[in-house]
A and B are shown apart, each in its own frame.
Chain A
Amino acid sequence: MKNYLRLNLSLLYWIFIAPFTGQFFKVAPIFRQMVFIGVRAAPMVALTAFSVGVTLAMQAAHSLQSLGAEMYIPDLVMLTLLREMGPVLIAVIVIGRSGSAVAAELGTMKVSEEIEALEVMAINPVQYLVVPRFLAMLVMLPALTIFGNYIGIMGGWAVCRFALDFNTAGYVLRALESADTWDLYSGMIKSAVFAWIVITIACNAGLNVEGGAEGVGQATTASVVQALLAMLVTNAVLTGIFFFSA
């Protein structure tokens, strides 16, 4: 926990203070990490989001039809995706795919003395390794969430259009009418917070690996489990703050 807080402080230093002292972070590695963390996760995110959209629409149809209220199906799909399912499920995918990869990569670098070599070359490992991954994640997880939301809404549309008697215009209008911009923004805030949690936990686990290949394995598993728990608890807290308090 002490290491985790120290990592966060030093991350804030390298992002917000160091650039003003002339040590600006390099941009190219950030883009490389964005491709790795974000772009390559897009197909998985698309598949997940589409399945979730379809599932939500089918469940909504089942319940709402018995009330004669199937016109509200787009509302349900849209709100659930924007507020909850989108940010959470896409964070789950990114934890499983990119968080674990980052933890394993940094952990392997730690056990093969690469981190120590960086330090001895007066290259700060947080600046060189963590900052690009952090910024890439902070951009890409919300971006993936927006992308996933679109695909999910398409999933809902597919059910409404082909299995129920909605037309496309009706679905789109109903969906847009139901959602507020705040529904979108709350989801974006959530996914930015999740990005922070996921990448700092993964980097912290990697940088503190001890004891060879076994240590790398344990750290990777631990980072996935911790990130999932932290993310789900934070989600409950944020939902409470955004939608339940006022």
Chain B
Amino acid sequence: MSVNGDSIIEVDQLVRRFGDRAVLDGIAFNVHRGETLVIMGGSGCGKSTLLRHMIGSMKPTAGSVKLFGEEITGMKEREIERVRLRFGMLFQSGALLASLTVGENVALPLFQHTKKSPDEIEQIVKRKLEMVGLTGFEDLKPDEISGGMKKRVGLARALALDPELLFSDEPTSGLDPIMTAVVDELTLKLTKGSHMTAVVVSHDMTSAFRIATRMIMLGHGSIVAEGTPDEIRNSLNPEVQQFIHGRADGPIPLNLSQEEHKDHQLVRPRPFLGGRFRFHHKHS
């Protein structure tokens, strides 16, 4: 673990409730410069919610999140934009703008936030796309490329401004094993070589153990286990062992899928829907 006392992210006693259900219940951890923190946990355990709090798109019920030493939970939109220039985010689906080409998507942050000339920007875009193995795809529209490619374009876009910190939401899901390795190596190169810090939410255990310098496992809204990859691998906690080896039997209760889980939290069942379901049930 490369700790040099320089905390990039400090999360303290973070609580988030939807109604009276606590999805995050007193989460606390630090991420230091140059580290790669992998956050893992079953579907619906609050990983994505935690990530959304760290990028400032959700406000916590209680607790604090500090990025680069600045408290972001109470910040106004315009203040938070200043912090956001210093990090990149890769969304699970890539979240590319469908109306722009691949090249324009990667160029977007450069056009918006720098005074570089179009030629310089074109060079940077070429270089970033080359890093993710997509040379020559600049002029295609996002709906002309595959899901895995979109994700890699999303990564190139997240890296366009050479951020100090990268958040990735499942960067390797949907990629083939070779591309997974390419993306992992890129993350490693950036964190080792350029002292970028990475926070990666992942289900993919192979990839997680390959890139992580530290790992956190979430469950029931709190941290179940935390440590270096070796510590996690040798953890005596049966939940951790069940998760990293992907066994169906074990102490982790069968969760609802993430979508159902969200519905449960956000929407009260409507009476007529309940009636319809009963109707189907009776006849099936």
Q: Are B98 and A116 in contact (CB under 8 A)?
A: no
Interface residues on A, range: 10 to 19
A117 and B95 alpha carbons, distance in the complex (Å): 6
Query: Of A112, A117, A128, which is in contact with the most chain B CB atoms at under 10 Å from its CB?
Result: A117
Quick one: which of A109, A119, A122, A124 contacts B97, CB cutoff 8 A?
A109
A123 at interface by CB-CB < 8 Å: yes
Binding site for B on A (CB under 8 A): 105, 108-109, 112-114, 116-124, 128
Q: List the 4 shortest-distance A-B pairs measured between CB atoms, nearest first.
A: A117-B95, A122-B84, A122-B81, A113-B95
A105 and B55 alpha carbons, distance in the complex (Å): 25
Tell me the chain B residues, 181-225 only, with Cβ under 8 Å from chain A: none
Binding site for A on B (CB under 8 A): 55, 57, 77, 81-82, 84-85, 89, 91, 93, 95-99, 108-109, 112-113, 157
Q: Are B57 and A123 in contact (CB under 8 A)?
A: no
- Expressed in whole angstroms, the minimum distance between the Cβ of B11 and any Cβ of chain A is 18
Q: Are B91 and A119 in contact (CB under 8 A)?
A: no
Q: Are A113 and B93 in contact (CB under 8 A)?
A: yes
Q: Are B81 and A112 in contact (CB under 8 A)?
A: no
Q: Are B108 and A121 in contact (CB under 8 A)?
A: yes
Q: Are B113 and A122 in contact (CB under 8 A)?
A: yes
A112 and B99 alpha carbons, distance in the complex (Å): 12
Q: Are A114 and B81 in contact (CB under 8 A)?
A: no
- Expressed in whole angstroms, the minimum distance between the Cβ of B158 and any Cβ of chain A is 9
Q: Are A114 and B97 in contact (CB under 8 A)?
A: yes
How many residue pairs between the two chains, A and B, have CB atoms under 8 Å in the bound complex? 48
What are 11 pairs between A and B in contact, CB < 8 Å? Answer: A109-B98, A114-B95, A116-B91, A116-B95, A117-B95, A120-B55, A120-B89, A121-B108, A121-B109, A121-B112, A124-B77
- Expressed in whole angstroms, the minimum distance between the Cβ of A105 and any Cβ of chain B is 8
A234 and B91 alpha carbons, distance in the complex (Å): 42
Question: Given A109-B98, A119-B57: A124 and B81 within 8 A (CB)?
Answer: yes
Which residues of B lie under 8 Å from residue A112 when comparing CB positions? Answer: 93, 95, 98
Which residues of B lie under 8 Å from residue A108 when comparing CB positions? Answer: 98
Q: Are B57 and A121 in contact (CB under 8 A)?
A: no
Q: Are B98 and A120 in contact (CB under 8 A)?
A: no
Which residues of B lie under 8 Å from residue A120 when comparing CB positions? Answer: 55, 57, 84, 89
Q: Are A123 and B89 in contact (CB under 8 A)?
A: no
Query: Of B57, B95, B98, B113, which is in contact with the most chain A CB atoms at under 10 Å from its CB?
Result: B95
Query: Of B81, B97, B109, which is in contact with the most chain A CB atoms at under 10 Å from its CB?
Result: B97
- Expressed in whole angstroms, the minimum distance between the Cβ of A22 and any Cβ of chain B is 11
Q: Which residue of B lies closest to A126 (CB)?
A: B77
Which residues of A lie under 8 Å from residue B89 when comparing CB positions? Answer: 117, 120-121
A209 and B55 alpha carbons, distance in the complex (Å): 21
